[in-house]
Structure 1
Amino acid sequence: MPELHKTLAESLFELERELRALDLWDSRKPAPDALASTQPFAVDTLEFYQWLQFIFIPRLFRLVEYRAPMPASCSVAPMAEEFFRRREEEGCEVILVLERIDRLVTEN
């Protein structure tokens, strides 16, 4: 596995661990229509952490699995900053992991 894909996979596992530690990991998948949103981050149908869990993480894991090229850009950390600003959970670690993922994807 190329180094980029390996590092990205490790970062995605770390993101999952951090979300679980904050109890922001759902045991049930949202309805199919909620996952079919066309809005950025599915803001009309999902909470941000649900978007991470059910759309973002699986999509990036598929890139890793198939050793596919990375998207031209990735900028998810600013949305995480906004999400955690309104919540009592401390999301610093989640934001740091997302900043790393943003850099990995965008710089390669």
Structure 2
Amino acid sequence: MTVAPRVLEIADHLLLIERELQVQGWWSDTAPSDVAMASTVPFAVDAMPFEQWLQWIFLPRMKQIIEFGQPLPNASGILVMAETVFASRAEQSRELRRLLAAFDRLIAPSA
């Protein structure tokens, strides 16, 4: 099975996002509760910080999509959420926001 170069680029990019979460100290060894993980609210804002959502929901779901060859999402607006969440930590979150902006561009069908 041949993997499209775009898919490989997205997979590599997910690893960069994971690494930046670790660099910033926003990576957790403790998973959110089952109740938090079951949140149906966008970005699980009712149940966990955005950094946890990235680690425990976004990254695993995207990796699963890639691993099983499922269709990629047609769009991503993750940067908009990151800009809101990190407004008070603009300097510290600069690289993560840059990576999320690049992810939004990569996931777009025209990428």
Q: TM-score band (shorter)? A: over 0.9
Residue segments in structure 2 that go unaligned for 5+ positions in a row: none
State the match for 1:91 in structure 2: 93
Equivalents in 1 of 2:30, 2:42: separation in Å?
22
Task: Measure, in 1, the Cα distance between the counterparts of 2:10 and 2:69.
Answer: 11
Q: Give deviations 1:2-44, integer Å, cap 9, x for gaps.
A: 1111101100000011111110001111111101111110000
Deviation at 1:86?
Answer: 2.5
* Ranges of 4+ aligned residues in structure 1 off by more than 4 Å: none
Alignment partners' CA distance in 1, 2:51 and 2:88:
13
Q: Secondary structure at the residue paired with 2:86? A: helix
Amino acid at match of 1:18: E
1:38 aligned to 40, 45, 53, which one? 40
Once the two structures are overlaid, the 10-residue window that deviates more, 35-44 or 83-92, is: 83-92
Report how far residue 80 of structure 1 moved.
0.8
Matched with 1:63 is 65
Q: Does 1:8 align with 2:19?
A: no
- Work out the number of aligned pairs and report it: 108
Q: Distance in 1 between matches of 2:78 and 2:28?
A: 20
* Amino acid across the alignment from 2:102: R
Long gaps (5+) in structure 1: none
Structure 2: distance between partners of 1:18 and 1:72: 24
Q: Which position in structure 2 is the counterpart of 1:105?
A: 107
What's the C-alpha RMSD, in Å, of the aligned pairs?
1.4
TM-score (norm 1): 0.93
- Pick closer, same or farther for the CA change 1:61–1:46 going to 2, 3 Å: same
Per-residue deviation at 1:72? 2.0
- Give the percent of matched residue pairs that are identical in Structure 1 and Structure 2: 37
Letter of the 1:78 counterpart: V
